[in-house]
Copies of this chain bind each other. A is one copy, B any other.
């Protein structure tokens, strides 16, 4: 393999974030990537996996709970490992990190790819991600954390006419507090492009990076969509105390990480963190030690919120998480 080609192994390559990343890796000509999907043995024959193989992705069976030597064999020659594992299974990354360390992977990306949040005590999901990161640090494993803010695709509110329901999937039902807290948002389709730059950038080694497109408040989102659609939208303001109570109620039940209640808890906590505490901003990210794509790649092209909203109104957008369609809007996404 030419030294100009970076070999990237992706865990979760058929998931929402993983597939966006794989697409960008395959599309990228400079830098160029060889892509491997670390696939559960039981999923090797799934149509989505066969489709990946057709597109030139190497398929490697990887049983995270299997023998270490097998995992290490699957990582032979891999430069970068990217985990986009399901949030409830984060701890399964531990053996993958051990194997990555053993074979000398040059950079490991644990599954973050969400909003900026305090390392502990804000989001239970983030608490777990931080445990994974701390394990990497104990291993002295070269790493990069990428967070991407909130996605356009799960942030844009619905319209009274229902005409954009086909595409949008707002995870919060209403506006927290007065809707004046700014948060970072990104078109999910841009995540892959950011990743292709970040993973070959020496400046981002052993650092956290916030990749984001825009910073908006909830009120600004409504204003934008009202302006573009010509529809008048009801603004349902949810008192902060009500969100706190919902979090406390679910927390009191100590939901396990693979339960539906955990997903709901995550959504309330994301909502509180982003829209009440105001954690999901470039300013707080920099305080926490993140680099940002705005500073790293001022030349990067990205899809504006306005053009995404127009695309949605034009009937040309796609819904994310199609496989999670059965979930209610209030609990469709744990990233």
Contact with B along A111-139 (1 / 0, CB 8 A): 00000001111100000000100110110
Chain B residues whose C-beta falls within 8 Å of the C-beta of A288 in the assembled complex: 137, 206
B interface footprint on A201-226 (CB within 8 Å = 1, 0 otherwise)? 00000110000000000000000000
Partner of A287, one of B118, B120, B135, B206: B206
Which B residue sits closest to A139, measured CB to CB? B118
Do B134 and A119 have beta carbons less than 8 Å apart? Answer: yes
Q: Mask for A279-294, Cβ within 8 A of B = 1, else 0? A: 0000010011100000
Taking CB atoms, residues of chain B closer than 8 Å to A134 are: 118-121
Closest CB-CB distance, A283 to chain B, in whole Å? 9
Q: Residue on B with the closest CB to A283?
A: B140
Determine how close the nearest CB of chain B comes to the CB of A213; give it in whole angstroms: 23
Cβ of A108 to closest chain B Cβ, rounded Å: 13
Docked CA distance A137–B119 (Å): 7
* Candidates B121, B142, B206, B207; contact of A135 at CB < 8 Å: B121
Can you name the residue of chain B whose Cβ is closest to the Cβ of A134? B120
A:10-49 near B, CB below 8 Å: none
A 63-119 contacts with B by CB, 8 A: 118-119
Query: In the bound complex, how far is the Cα of B134 from the Cα of A137, in angstroms?
Result: 16
Cα A131 to Cα B118 with chains together (Å): 12
CA distance A142 to B286 in the complex (A): 12
Distance between A286 CB and nearest chain B CB, rounded to angstroms: 8
B residues less than 8 Å from A287 (CB atoms):
137, 140, 142, 206
Residue of B nearest to A208 (CB): B289
- Which residues of the other chain, B, contact A122 by a CB distance below 8 angstroms? 138
Q: How far is the CA of A118 from the CA of B137 in the complex (A)?
A: 6
Interface residue ranges of A217-242 to B (CB < 8 Å): none
B289 touching A206 by the CB < 8 A rule?
yes
- In this complex, what residue of B is CB-closest to A141? B287
Pick from B120, B135, B138, B142: contact of A138, CB under 8 Å: B120
Contact B140 A121 (CB under 8 A): no
With a CB–CB cut-off of 8 A, which chain B residues contact A206?
A: 287-289
B residues near A121, Cβ cutoff 8 Å: 134-135, 138
14 of the cross-chain contacts (CB-CB < 8 Å) are A118-B134, A118-B138, A120-B131, A120-B135, A120-B137, A120-B138, A121-B138, A122-B138, A137-B287, A140-B287, A142-B287, A206-B287, A206-B288, A207-B289
A residues adjacent to B (C-beta < 8 A): 118-122, 131, 134-135, 137-138, 140, 142, 206-207, 284, 287-289
